[in-house]
Amino acid sequence: MKRILVTGGAGYIGSHTTLELLDAGYDVVVADNLSRGHRSAVEPARLREVDILDTPGLVRVMQEQPVDAVIHFAAYIAVGESMKDPGLYFRNNVSGSISLVNAMQEAGVRNIVFSSTAAVYGMPAVVPIPESLPYAPINVYGETKVMVEKVLDWFGQTQGLRSVCLRYFNASGADPAARAGEDHEPETHLIPLLFQAIETGTPATLFGNDYPTPDGSCIRDYIHVSDLARAHIGAVEWLMTGGVSRRFNVGTGAGYSVQEVVDAVARVVGKPVPHTWGPRREGDPATLVADSSSLRNELGWAPRDSALDRIVETAWRWYNR
C-alpha cells in the first residue's frame, strides 16, 4: 500500500484530501501543528503534531513510516492578514516549505504535490486563465505561493525533486457525507458568511456591484473541495507513475457572480439572505475563472460535485452538523 504524508491535513482542503486518499486505498500520515487546523479533523492515530519549520521533526515522521509522496497544504491563507503581517507569511509559507523540502531530501522522498493558488496571477489579463500567464501576484499571500513554486522548480532542476503545483480557484462546499467541512477562524469566505447572515440576521456585506460583469458583482470559479481533493490524488498518481513536474489550474471553467451565489444560498436553504452591498474590496479582480483543460486532458480529472447548488447544499449540511 502506498503511503502519503499530508502536511496541513487538519485544515479544510487537507482534511478532505485525506478522506479521499483513504477512500482510494492509500495509507495517510498527517503532519500538522494544529495552529489553524482542528484536532477533530484527523484520526488520532494518523496525526503527528509537528511544525512545518521543524525539519528534524519532519524527517522523523518520514522515517518512522516511509512515505512515497508528500502533499503539502500547511500554510496560512488569509490575504488581508498577509498584508498586515508579511513576516508571518514568508516564514510559515516559504521558510516552512523549504524546511519540508530539506526534510524530504534527507528522508529520500522525491514526489511533492503543492497547494498553490489562482492568486499567483493577480489581476489576470486573460480569462479563462491559462497556466502560461506570467506570475503577477498583488498580495503577500500570492507572492509566498509564487516563491514556493520557484523553489520546487529549482529543486527539480538541481536535485531531482518532482512536483505538481495545483493552483486552486475558489475551494468551497464540504464532504457530501459531512465527515469534514470548512471551519476557519475568522471566516472570510463568501458561502459560510452567507450562512452566518441567515442564522444571525446580521446582513452580510457584499463587496461591490459596480464591476464590469453582467450583474455588476465579482465572478469566481467555485470548485467543490472534494473535486479539488480528487485532483490531488490524480497529481500524486501522476508523479508516482513517472510523470514530469507540472503546474495545473484546478477550477471548473464556469464562473458564478456573488449575486448568483446569494441566490443559490437562498434557494438551497429556503430563506432569504440578509445582505447589503458595500464598496469593492481592495485587490479583488472582476472575474477569476480557470482554464483547467490541461488537468482534464493530462490527468483525466473532471469535477463531479461542483454544480453551484451541490456546493451550497453540502456546505449547508456541514454547517448544521
Q: Which residues bind ligand UFG (CB under 6 A)?
A: 77, 79, 117-119, 141, 170, 188-190, 193, 204-207, 218, 220, 258, 281, 284, 288
Other beta carbons within 10 angstroms of residue 241's beta carbon come to: 7
We find the least distance from the C-beta atom of residue 120 to ligand UFG, in angstroms, to be: 8
d(C-alpha 245, C-alpha 239), whole Å: 8
Of 42 and 75, the one with the shorter C-beta distance to ligand UFG is 75
We find the least distance from the C-beta atom of residue 207 to ligand UFG, in angstroms, to be: 4
d(C-alpha 119, C-alpha 67), whole Å: 30
We find the least distance from the C-beta atom of residue 123 to ligand UFG, in angstroms, to be: 11
141 part of the active site:
yes
Cell of 227: 473535486
d(C-alpha 60, C-alpha 187), whole Å: 34
Of 110 and 275, the one with the shorter C-beta distance to ligand UFG is 275
We find the least distance from the C-beta atom of residue 215 to ligand UFG, in angstroms, to be: 12
Of 50 and 194, the one with the shorter C-beta distance to ligand UFG is 194
We find the least distance from the C-beta atom of residue 112 to ligand UFG, in angstroms, to be: 20
Of 124 and 234, the one with the shorter C-beta distance to ligand UFG is 124
Of 179 and 281, the one with the shorter C-beta distance to ligand UFG is 281
Catalytic residue among 76, 89, 121, 141: 141
Residues that are catalytic: 141
